[in-house]
Amino acid sequence: MTVAGGVIGARVSRAEDVRLLTGRAVFIDDLRPPGVLEAAILRSPHPHARIVRLDTTAAAAHPGVFAVVTGADVKSLVRRPQPLIWRLAPGGPETVAYPLAVDKVLYTGHGLAAVAAVDRATAEDALELIDVEYEPLPAVTTLEQALAPDAPRLHEDWPDNVAGRAVVAQGDVEAAFAGADVVLRETFRFARQWGASLETRGVVATWDPFTSHLDAWVNTQSPHLIRELFAEVLGLSVDKVRVRVPDIGGGFGSKSGFYGDQVVAAVLSRVSGRPVKFLEDRRESFVATVHAREQRIDVEVAARTDGTITGLRGTVHGVLGANFSTVGLSPCWTTAAIMTGPYAIPAVELDVVGVVTNKPPYGAYRGYGLPKANFVHEHVVEALARHLGLDPHEVRRRNFVTEFPYQSPVFVYDSGRYAECLDLCRDAVRRAGWADRVARARAEGAHMGIGYAFHNEVSAFAPSRIVNMSGLDHSGFDEAAVRIDSSGRVTVHTGQTSMGQGIHTALAQVAAHALDVPLDHVTVVSGDTDSAPYTGYGTAASRAAAVGGAAVLNAATRLRAKVLRIAAHVFEASPDDLEISDGVVSVKGVPGRSVTLAAIGDAAYRRPHGVLPDDEEPTLHEREVYDPVNVATAFGCTAVLASVDVETGAVELLGYLIAHDCGTMINPMIVEGQLQGGAAQAIGGALYERLAYDASGEALTRSFAEYLLPTAGVVPPFGINHMETPADHIPGGFKGAGEAGVIGGGAAIAHAVEDALAEFGVRITSLPITPPDLLAAIRAGAER
């Protein structure tokens, strides 16, 4: 089913914004239940050390302290180690990690004890009274150090530091390379980065000592997953865990996992008998929230002289942290799984190797593995074009997937019009006059260039059974309930989480569209596992609008049918002869014969007599569980105009255009917001962000003075051009849009820089591009 016109597709302002912009939102730190304590965690100053002695006596005696726990204490109060929900390397070793370190600390910032006190300052005072003796051990922070034959082992029962291997393969790779006209090789490196939200992660946990219930407020993207994992770890039945979600100040994937500090807060509440709040401060968020992106990728590509890519092989090294995050190796596997991107490459063989290092766990960050995969396949296209003397866009076109559905090495692409999207982007560049601008700049001696990247994105992450078969211990369906109350107003219940992206507005638009009611008659409710419908996985993987939206659409469509049946009874007409407009049901073509949704609501709940048909159940409520048969592939093209100061290596972005297709758009303004936010993070990843470590393993980036996020001053104006190719297997035709903006930005920026520096022959194979590195490349090029 596809939809056109109406509230779906309307650029309506977000219902969330009034509260957010007037300071009426309630974030995790605004929650102060009576008697609440605040927790602080003692963190290792060493990248790798044995804990020889840990004495908390003085801390426990400090005035204002209610509870102190060590890693061993927490281990004794949980049923199992921290769960890994995605196993991609069956039989491979798994890290055994408890919420706090027990015998060894494995990275700078690794928590080893925690205090709950009357306030955070007192808790931090008490941390200083904990007496720890460490025996420092040699640390490994780079891939090469970790893989060295004599490397110190992080996990002493492992044979080495390899955390798992997986393979992504399709077709006959040997034959492809044996028959290739040309083979190109390259190595790519991506720095460690993370999804830094404006609001840090937090939890307010209340353990009821009489009923053994855990009531936890968590600013999480995955309330149902968190409830399941709390239950597993704490040895509770699921009904004894309630997870509630306040307003969230940004998620970006880093708020989707199940963190040890959430368990620590629950344990501290259990030990102290009081509610306990743990909120990362900004400083510790650099070590307490998952890192991402860091990979080394070696690839070889086989091609024919006409630019047809016939084979791709290589290795994706995931430079993981010391322990697995909730999702383990999966972000790195995803890089390999979608390394062919929008291109029909028939033969593929990619090894995925996860390697542990003395750094914080590696987890989800907007884009998951896709930005790296995109950087590789777009570099390959450009390199091949250069090598063969072809136009890179011709190489793109020659290799685009054109027949759908298309079986890529892992995913089935449902639909797409890639060549049209490329044209849309190039037209936008033409209209913007970039070529003239570049010519003028070059005539004046400046170095300006244009870069492109084409991406596709696996969105609407599902279906449940297939993701289970891929090793995921969680589902991908979405449950929704839609109600009309006795005043005719609509409430949508969803398991999806509102974290600033506008999902409540989007789902309200879907329901309003399906029911033909005014948008402001719809309220969306979410955020409490005691009452919210179930969502598999959570608000992640670009699935909320597509999968959650389809669930709401189906439920609302059924509810509409019930409304029409009741109205048909009133009018003694056929439902087929009725229409709903603006919340009023009327007989088509018969002015004056109408009944409001309020009247139908009243009959459904309070005064059924004479209105509700005898065979119709009271209430107006429909529930839907929607599990798509496939993912939905969105796609887009990014073009960047950049200039480079060849004396300093500084890059300035002057223009940024995106052509994008996420199927049926529910609200183009929200889609644009998603694309712009993602693009800003792509800019950060391409030019600024790097979690750096020195040779001994010490973390060099501990604040936003060292870890540079893109500021308003470095983000250029965006121009966005939409096209819509509906997902024909998803009700409404929706595809995901949440991660699109971040995927192609890095490659497009790199290509713009390469174009600007064409005279120096600079090639960008690692991110971020920093001025000192780029200057060195320019100088090397000038000497050649």
Choose the binding region for another protein from 27-35, 97-105, 487-495, 768-776 (rule: CB under 8 A). 768-776
Contact 99, 83 (CB under 8 A): no
Choose the binding region for another protein from 106-114, 260-268, 286-294, 771-779 (rule: CB under 8 A). 771-779
- Does 186 engage in binding with another protein (CB under 8 A)? no
Taking the least distance from each CB to another protein, the nearer of 590 and 700 is: 700
| Three-state secondary-structure class, residue 780 | helix
Neighbours of 210 (CB within 10 A): 5
Choose the binding region for another protein from 66-74, 88-96, 600-608, 646-654 (rule: CB under 8 A). 646-654
- Does 129 engage in binding with another protein (CB under 8 A)? no
Cα torsion 659, 662, 666, 669: sign: negative
The least CB distance from residue 247 to another protein, in Å, is: 24
Which position among 695, 772, 783, 784 is part of the footprint of another protein (CB under 8 A)? 772
- Does 120 engage in binding with another protein (CB under 8 A)? yes
Which position among 283, 437, 442, 565 is part of the footprint of another protein (CB under 8 A)? 283
Choose the binding region for another protein from 339-347, 487-495, 644-652, 664-672 (rule: CB under 8 A). 644-652
The least CB distance from residue 482 to another protein, in Å, is: 45
Contact 356, 143 (CB under 8 A): no
- How far apart CA 487 and CA 596 sit, in angstroms, is 9
- Does 333 engage in binding with another protein (CB under 8 A)? no
Which position among 131, 135, 281, 427 is part of the footprint of another protein (CB under 8 A)? 281
Contact 316, 335 (CB under 8 A): yes
Choose the binding region for another protein from 72-80, 279-287, 427-435, 538-546 (rule: CB under 8 A). 279-287
Contact 517, 556 (CB under 8 A): no
- How far apart CA 666 and CA 96 sit, in angstroms, is 43
The least CB distance from residue 263 to another protein, in Å, is: 22
The least CB distance from residue 43 to another protein, in Å, is: 11
- How far apart CA 674 and CA 653 sit, in angstroms, is 19
Residues in 709-738 that interact with another protein by CB under 8 A: 710-711, 713-714
| H or E stretch covering 624 | strand 620-626
Taking the least distance from each CB to another protein, the nearer of 129 and 519 is: 129
Type of residue numbered 43: R
Type of residue numbered 680: A
- How far apart CA 333 and CA 320 sit, in angstroms, is 12
Which of 326-349 are b and which e, b meaning 16 or more Cβ less than 10 Å from the residue's Cβ?
bbbbbbbbbbbbbbbbbbbbbbbb
Taking the least distance from each CB to another protein, the nearer of 121 and 167 is: 121
Choose the binding region for another protein from 174-182, 285-293, 481-489, 645-653 (rule: CB under 8 A). 645-653
The least CB distance from residue 688 to another protein, in Å, is: 7
Which position among 73, 125, 349, 479 is part of the footprint of another protein (CB under 8 A)? 125
Closest CA to 492 of 547, 432, 450, 553: 553
Binding mask 666-695 toward another protein (x if CB under 8 A, else -) reads: ----------------------x-x-x---
- How far apart CA 546 and CA 540 sit, in angstroms, is 11
- Does 647 engage in binding with another protein (CB under 8 A)? yes
- Does 191 engage in binding with another protein (CB under 8 A)? no
594 contacts: CB under 8 Å, gap ≥ 6: 584, 585, 586, 587
Residues in 347-376 that interact with another protein by CB under 8 A: none
* Helices and strands in the chain: count of H runs, count of E runs: 22, 29
Contact 529, 243 (CB under 8 A): yes
- How far apart CA 528 and CA 217 sit, in angstroms, is 9
Contact 354, 89 (CB under 8 A): yes
Which position among 700, 758, 780, 782 is part of the footprint of another protein (CB under 8 A)? 700
Taking the least distance from each CB to another protein, the nearer of 376 and 699 is: 699
The least CB distance from residue 647 to another protein, in Å, is: 5
| H or E stretch covering 472 | none
The least CB distance from residue 713 to another protein, in Å, is: 4
Q: Which residue has the tokens 């520096």?
A: 757
Taking the least distance from each CB to another protein, the nearer of 66 and 626 is: 66
Taking the least distance from each CB to another protein, the nearer of 75 and 702 is: 702
What is the Rg, in whole angstroms, of the alpha carbon atoms belonging to the chain?
Answer: 27
- Does 708 engage in binding with another protein (CB under 8 A)? yes
| Three-state secondary-structure class, residue 338 | coil
The conformation of residue 2, written as its DSSP 8-state character, comes to: B
- Does 530 engage in binding with another protein (CB under 8 A)? no
Taking the least distance from each CB to another protein, the nearer of 441 and 775 is: 775
Type of residue numbered 272: S
Taking the least distance from each CB to another protein, the nearer of 731 and 745 is: 745
Tell me which residues touch another protein (CB under 8 A): 119-121, 124-125, 281, 283-284, 647-648, 650, 688, 690, 692, 700-701, 705-706, 708, 710-711, 713-714, 770-772, 775
